[in-house]
Amino acid sequence: MTTTYREAIKQAIRDALNRDERVFLMGEDVGRYGGCYAVTKGLLEEFGEARIRDTPLSESAFVGAGIGAAMAGLRPIVEIMTVNFSLLALDQIVNNAATIPHMSGGQFAVPLVIRMATGAGRQLAAQHSHSLEGWYAHIPGLKIVAPATLEDARGMLWSALEDPNPVLIFEQVNLYNMEAELAADAGAVPLCGAAVRRAGRDLSLVTYGASLHKSLVAAQLLATEGIEAEVIDLRSLRPLDDATIMASLARTRRILVVDEGWRSGGISAEICARVAEQGFYDLDAPPARLCGVEVPIPYPKHLEDAAIPQVETIHAAALELVRPSGRST
């Protein structure tokens, strides 16, 4: 059946609420308003105020409440409107959620799931459009996933609720309206492990989130020019699936990381470092990155588009890696 990414998430939430009475959802405007991206529209009527809870405008408070609920045995799904706002809850996420299982010697699990929107492309300007998931991937104790397909949007939530660790799910804002086929019996999928979305022999495009779809289009363009790009969807940024990346590199010997996040200290830097550490002797060209331009994401459409990887820039960067035009590095 054809449906949207937004609808796949709603199905996943509904399924979790039906399967396990310990599951509940809370966040700003998730109830009466139906969620700022309309993901939870209708769920309040369906499940009632006890399980679909509108919270005050205090990320620190409701994330903290979620941590407490998870420690006490519930299975909270916390929605934060956008990753930029999650910074107000950094103390709860980094100092509490990520550390309590360790500091309690395993006595407390924190089976908390936090969903949030991330990324640019909706003209929401610099305070609503950043891609900070790479930052969170720095923190031991957290799991960081980024579903890019309907199957993953539908299937990662239940696996995240089952996981005893706090899991952050990053939903790129441009994906909500994406339509695709989703099997009627679609269910849980593993949280970790990268997926090869397109096989190729000439270079590996390593990416996640909305950049996956741009990379797949770029790969089609490259194919018309005789270049077969392998496209890897990371799915999980923490843990990273080193084995899949290195196996792809061993086939293609060239790697281009495509990441909407900023270059300096980003997840792309981590991937390139691991490639240098583990795949050095497979490299036939320096590991390359195409990242977000290092500016606060601009509001005007043309500048916003220019600030993040696009099909044309991915295509050009890939071409430069496989068939250098002669410009010296």
Partner 1 sequence: MPSLGADMEKGKVVEWLKKPGDPIARGDVVAVVETQKGAFEIEAFEAGILGEILVPVGVEAPVGAVLARIDGPGAAPRPAMAAPAPPRPAIQPVASPPPRPAQIATGRPRISPAAARRAIELGVDTRGLSGSGPGGAIAIADVEAAARKPAAPQPSAPPTGTPGPRRGFDPAAMRQAIATAMARSKREIPHYYLSLPIDMGIASEWLAAENARRDVERRLLPAALLLKAVALALRAVPELNGFWVEGAPRLSPSIHVGWAIALRGGGLMAPAIHDADRLTLDQAMAALRDLTTRARVARVRGSEMMDPTVTVTSLGERGADSVFGVIYPPQLAIVGFGAPRITALPVGDAIRPRPVVQATLAADHRASDGALGSRLLATIDRHLQRPESL
User: Which residues have a catalytic role annotated?
Assistant: 59, 128
281 binds partner 1 (CB under 8 A): yes
Q: How far is the CB of 279 from partner 1 (least distance, A)?
A: 9
Planar angle of CA 261, 187, 5, nearest 5 degrees: 45
Strands 203-207 and 179-181: unpaired
By C-beta, is 162 or 320 nearer to partner 1?
Answer: 320
Could you give the residue ranges of the DSSP H alpha helices within the chain?
5-19, 43-47, 59-71, 83-86, 90, 100-103, 133-136, 150-162, 210-224, 242-252, 267-279, 301-307, 311-322
Q: Residue 26 pairs with which residues in a beta bridge?
A: 53, 78
With contact defined as beta carbons under 8 Å apart, do 64 and 96 qualify? yes
Per-residue x/- marks for partner 1, 247-266, CB under 8 A? ------x-------------
Between CA 215 and CA 237 the distance in angstroms is 17
How would DSSP label each residue in 10-22?
Answer: HHHHHHHHHH-TT
Closest CA to 317 of 250, 279, 268: 268
Q: Which of 56, 226, 264, 302 binds partner 1 (CB under 8 A)?
A: 226
Q: Which is nearer to partner 1, 264 or 325 (CB)?
A: 325
**Cα-flanking dihedrals φ and ψ of residue 11, to 5°?**
-60, -40
Site string for partner 1, 303-322 (x = CB under 8 A): -----------------xx-
224 binds partner 1 (CB under 8 A): no
* C-alpha distances out from residue 157 to 133, 154, 161, 311, Å: 17, 7, 6, 29
CB closer to partner 1 out of 80 and 275? 275
Rounded to 5 degrees, φ, ψ at 164 are: -75, -10
Among residues 48, 193, 277, 280, which is the contact residue for partner 1, using CB under 8 A?
280
Residue 328 found at the interface with partner 1 (CB under 8 A): yes
Stretch that binds partner 1, among 18-26, 39-47, 148-156, 274-282 (CB under 8 A): 274-282
Closer Cβ to partner 1, 107 or 325, answer by number? 325
Examine residue 283 and tell whether it contacts partner 1 (CB under 8 A). Answer: yes
Residue 225 makes contact with partner 1 by CB under 8 A: yes
Would you count residue 277 as binding partner 1 (CB under 8 A)? no
Q: Of 312, 27, 3, whose CA–CA distance to 169 is shortest?
A: 27
Site map 10..39 versus partner 1, x via CB under 8 A: ------------------------------
- Number of residues located near partner 1, criterion CB under 8 A: 19
Q: Which residues bind partner 1 (CB under 8 A)?
A: 202, 225-226, 253, 280-286, 320-321, 323-326, 328-329
